[in-house]
Amino acid sequence: MRRSWITDNRVKVVSKSGEAGATNGIAVYDFSDNPRQVTIADTVISNNRSIAISKHGSAVVYGGGISNGVLLSGPPVRLTLNHTKVVGNSLRVSAGGSAKGGGMYTKVPVVQHHSVIKGNRPDTCFGC
């Protein structure tokens, strides 16, 4: 992916009785058994907000900016960020929930070249 802007997106998931789960920005998954290289270059991922609320179940949010994991798929990809900004993204959950990776959530190391991941809440990068 090159020269893109993923900004000002909002996701709110509300559950009255079960689990509430959300992600926002970019979700990077591999649906094969052969993880491939994915490069995000000259891109801005900013000001995305994810909220998960559950009144009687668990609430989980991963990756306000980038989610690089295995939630729905096979092994994680080999992700590289080139000249990319991941800034000002945020996650919020109901009491007792789990919010990880305001800027990026990853299960494997991510290669960064001249990239910035900062100013995200509740944390900049979970798993980096």
pLDDT, one tens digit per residue, over 13-46 is 999 988 998 888 888 877 777 777 899 999 999 9
Q: How many domains does the chain have?
A: 1
The answer to whether 82 touches 39, Cβ cutoff 8 Å, is: yes
Which pLDDT belongs to residue 114?
Answer: 98
The percent of residues in the chain predicted with pLDDT above 90, rounded, is 62
pTM score, two decimals? 0.90
Per the structure, the complete domain to which residue 76 belongs is given by 5-126
Residue 74 pLDDT level (bands cut at 50, 70, 90): low
Which pLDDT belongs to residue 73?
Answer: 64
Per-residue pLDDT averaged across 72-98, rounded? 89
